[in-house]
């Protein structure tokens, strides 16, 4: 979503607080901030001051280059990643990114993603710890998804419909078009206001001055609103094509609309910002249903894996103990009799009990959940989720060896979630050989995925426990660099270099740190040069 989500994201950039639930004024401020930031960036950074030939039919590229949009997205993400509500839950992130990747491939096949944007944009999904039903698109191919949105979906196809919609905002260059449109509207409003004030001044009417100001602002707001609604219709249409091309059920979009409309009318407490910026008019709902045709299957069947992912989101989206205690009560089962719902209820209760450190209740609920899972039969995704939950339970109650034993059921799993959970278990395990095995696996993974901040955060304490302080501090610096905190990364690398001056330090590692520090300092100089093309002011230099 562009309107609400972009305003929310930019408010996070400015204040680093959880997403606000303000009205249209906050959206307008967010858009103006984004427009101003992009304008300053485009005018000030000489590296972007080049001739950009637009693609055929793409007049937007002539005014806002793809490179400018990419750099703006990276700047915004550097501010979002350190936010406490930016959550990296490996299991959930893997699932949402796995839902998103087929959509990107489908958009590429349809020609919505050009070779230029395919290589330069991130095409990355990130999670926001927030119980509101929300998602938003950012410049440069980033999409934020609130856990509240995942929690209320009933099938993967519904989640895919939202991701396809947001993806289409990016592929159709809606963000750039919104910036340009708002800039034009602002110019029109300013011109109209000046003319109105001059006319009112000639008639010496103070009421006329007020009317001129309010009238011009209202006209600009209406123009912006109309522009946004056109974008939403286009994102619906293109997103539907993308999700069906990716193999998701065509009924996913209509089902999601109906689910949100029902929830909005039944329990609107300001927790549905997605509907405020994406108004579910009868026209949009009717169009979604009409796209299904007469022969399409209209009923979705959700998988057990998705039900457990939604259950996990419910627990993680609200960190308050009272919220967990409410979810803990689901160990009695769900109101519906379906086994999938019963399993999801027990999963929710068990995870909430683990968070509350009520281990006896968690253990009892897990036994019931295992029995229900056995009755459900083969669902590899759901079985994997249950194995991970058992390992998380053992980790929480201080039995890492039992956690590793639980993970033996997934011996062939070399995924990121498996690696990160093993790292957590290894930190609590007293066996050095276990720590070394996990560190070796993590090091191999990070050599191929150096931008994974969580991976560096996990390996840093393991290096410390293995009496490798230089590697530990370097890992802390790499974690800061992956988050976009270049200054923090430089500080930690310099600290590691100071430690390397002792006689017994690892000089090979010291040389690696020295080389990495030089590259970070160069990156810092490049960023400052882009920010201050006329010279870095006194006090801002490194």
Confidence of residue 336 (pLDDT cuts 50, 70, 90): low
Among residues 102, 77, 67, 97, the alpha carbon closest in space to that of 10 is found at 77
Average pLDDT over residues 335-350: 88
Helix (H) or strand (E) holding 383: helix 380-396
Two structure tokens written together for 248: 């998701």
* CB 135, CB 146: distance < 8 Å: yes
For 410-424, letters b (16+ CB in 10 Å) and e give beeeeebbbbbbbbb
Where does residue 356 rank: exposed (0-12), middle (13-18), buried (19+ CB within 10 A)? middle
What mean pLDDT do residues 349-356 have? 98
Which of 75-84, 196-205, 361-370, 529-538: highest mean pLDDT? 361-370
C-alpha–C-alpha distance, residues 113 and 276, integer Å: 28
Residue 300 and residue 252 in contact, taking contact as beta carbons nearer than 8 Å: yes
| pTM score over 0.95 | no
- At 221 the pLDDT is 43
Q: How confident is the model at residue 295 (pLDDT cuts 50, 70, 90)?
A: low
Mean pLDDT of 41-65: 40
Mean pLDDT lowest among 216-220, 415-419, 470-474, 491-495: 216-220
Average pLDDT, the chain: 79
Sign of CA dihedral 347, 351, 356, 358: positive
Which is higher by pLDDT, 215 or 445? Answer: 445
pLDDT in tens, 241-286: 999 999 999 999 888 888 877 766 654 544 544 445 555 556 677 7
206 to each of 20, 188, 195, 209, 214, how far by Cα in Å? 36, 22, 14, 5, 13
Give residues with Cβ within 8 angstroms of 409, minimum separation 6.
387
Q: Is 75's pLDDT higher than 50?
A: yes
Q: Is the pLDDT of residue 299 over 70?
A: yes
Residue 490 has what pLDDT?
96
Rounded CA gap, 105 and 84, in Å?
31
Closest C-alpha among 501, 447, 493 to residue 474: 493
Rounded percentage of the chain residues whose pLDDT exceeds 90: 50
Q: Residue 463 pLDDT more than 70?
A: yes
pLDDT of residue 34: 45
Average pLDDT on 45-52 reads 31
What pLDDT does residue 145 have? 95
CA angle, 13 then 19 then 22, to 5° = 110
Cβ atoms 351, 309 nearer than 8 A: no
Long-range pairs for 490-498: beta carbons < 8 A, 24 or more residues apart: 490/517, 490/520, 490/521, 490/524, 490/542, 493/517, 493/520, 496/470
Mean pLDDT of all residues in 81-106: 96
Tokens of 56: 């055929």
Between the two ends of the chain, the Cα-to-Cα distance in Å is 37
Residue bearing the bigger pLDDT, 117 or 57: 117
Q: Encoding tokens for residue 51?
A: 């001739």
Please classify residue 365 by burial: count the beta carbons closer than 10 Å to its beta carbon, then call 0-12 exposed, 13-18 middle and 19+ buried.
buried
Q: Does residue 7 register a pLDDT over 70? A: no
Q: Would you state the pLDDT for residue 439? A: 97
Choice among 275-284, 427-436, 481-490 with the minimum mean pLDDT = 275-284
* Residue owning tokens 């984004």: 34
Please state, in angstroms and rounded to a whole number, the distance separating the CA atoms of residues 526 and 521.
9
Q: Does the pLDDT of residue 537 top 70, yes or no?
A: yes
Read off the tokens for 180.
């340009």
**Interatomic CA distance for residues 130 and 186, integer angstroms:** 32
Confidence of residue 194 (pLDDT cuts 50, 70, 90): very low
What's the pLDDT tens digit per position in 103-117?
Answer: 999 999 999 998 888
Would you tell me the crossing angle of helices 380-396 and 339-355 to the nearest 10 degrees? 20
Cβ proximity of 8 and 19 under 8 Å: yes
Q: What residue segments make up the domains of the chain, in order of their start?
A: 3-176+232-290, 304-397
- Say whether pLDDT at 222 is over 50: no
Q: CA 360: distance to chain centroid?
A: 34
Query: What pLDDT sits at residue 298?
Result: 63
Q: What is the Cβ-side half-sphere exposure of residue 221, based on CA atoms within 13 angstroms?
A: 12
Q: What percent of the chain is modeled with pLDDT above 70?
A: 72
Burial degree of 518 (CB within 10 A; 0-12, 13-18, 19+): exposed
- Is the pLDDT at 208 greater than 60? The verdict is no
């Amino acid at each position: 979503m562009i309107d609400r989500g972009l305003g929310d994201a930019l408010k996070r950039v400015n204040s680093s607080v959880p997403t606000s639930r303000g009205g249209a004024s906050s959206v307008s401020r967010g858009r103006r901030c984004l427009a101003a930031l992009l304008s300053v960036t485009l005018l000030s950074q000489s590296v972007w001051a080049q001739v950009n030939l637009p693609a055929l039919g793409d007049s937007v590229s002539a005014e806002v280059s793809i490179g400018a949009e990419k750099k703006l997205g990276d700047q915004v993400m550097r501010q979002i990643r350190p936010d406490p509500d930016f959550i990296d839950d490996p299991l959930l992130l893997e699932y949402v990114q796995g839902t998103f990747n087929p959509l990107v491939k489908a958009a590429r096949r349809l020609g919505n993603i050009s070779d230029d944007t395919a290589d330069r944009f991130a095409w990355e999904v990130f999670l926001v710890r927030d119980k509101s039903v929300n998602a938003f698109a950012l410049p440069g191919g980033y999409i934020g998804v609130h856990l509240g949105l995942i929690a209320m979906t009933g099938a993967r196809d519904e989640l895919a419909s939202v991701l396809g919609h947001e993806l289409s905002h990016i592929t159709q260059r809606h963000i750039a078009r919104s910036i340009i449109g708002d800039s034009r509207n602002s110019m029109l409003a300013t011109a109209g206001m000046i003319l109105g004030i001059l006319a009112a001044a000639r008639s010496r009417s103070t009421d006329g001055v007020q009317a001129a100001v309010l009238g011009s602002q209202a006209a600009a707001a209406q123009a912006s609103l109309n522009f946004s609604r056109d974008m939403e219709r286009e994102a619906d249409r293109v997103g539907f094509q993308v999700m069906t091309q990716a193999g998701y059920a065509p009924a996913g979009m209509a089902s999601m609309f109906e689910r949100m409309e029902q929830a909005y009318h039944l329990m609107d407490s300001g927790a549905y910002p997605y509907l405020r910026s994406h108004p579910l008019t009868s026209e949009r709902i009717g169009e979604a249903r009409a796209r299904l045709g007469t022969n399409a299957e209209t009923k979705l069947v959700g998988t057990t894996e998705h039900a457990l992912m939604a259950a996990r989101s419910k627990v993680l989206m609200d960190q308050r103990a009272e919220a967990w205690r409410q979810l803990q009560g689901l160990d009695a089962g769900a109101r519906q009799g379906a086994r999938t719902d019963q399993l999801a209820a027990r999963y929710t209760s068990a995870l909430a009990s683990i968070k509350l450190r009520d281990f006896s209740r968690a253990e009892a609920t897990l036994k019931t959940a295992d029995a229900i899972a056995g009755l459900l039969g083969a669902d590899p995704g759901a079985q994997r989720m249950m194995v991970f939950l058992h390992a998380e339970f053992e980790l929480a109650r201080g039995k890492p060896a039992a956690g590793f034993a639980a993970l033996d059921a997934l011996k062939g799993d070399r995924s990121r979630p498996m690696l990160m959970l093993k790292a957590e278990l290894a930190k609590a395990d007293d066996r050095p050989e276990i720590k070394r095995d996990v560190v070796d696996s993590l090091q191999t993974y990070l050599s191929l995925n150096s931008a994974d901040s969580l991976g560096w955060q996990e390996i840093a304490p393991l290096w410390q426990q293995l009496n490798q302080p230089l590697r530990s501090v370097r890992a802390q610096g790499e974690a800061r660099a992956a988050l976009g905190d270049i200054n923090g990364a430089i500080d930690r690398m310099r600290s590691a270099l100071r430690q390397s001056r002792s006689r017994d330090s690892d000089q090979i590692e010291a040389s690696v740190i020295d080389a990495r520090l030089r590259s970070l300092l160069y990156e810092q100089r490049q960023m400052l040069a882009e920010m201050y093309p006329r010279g870095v002011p006194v006090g801002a230099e490194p």
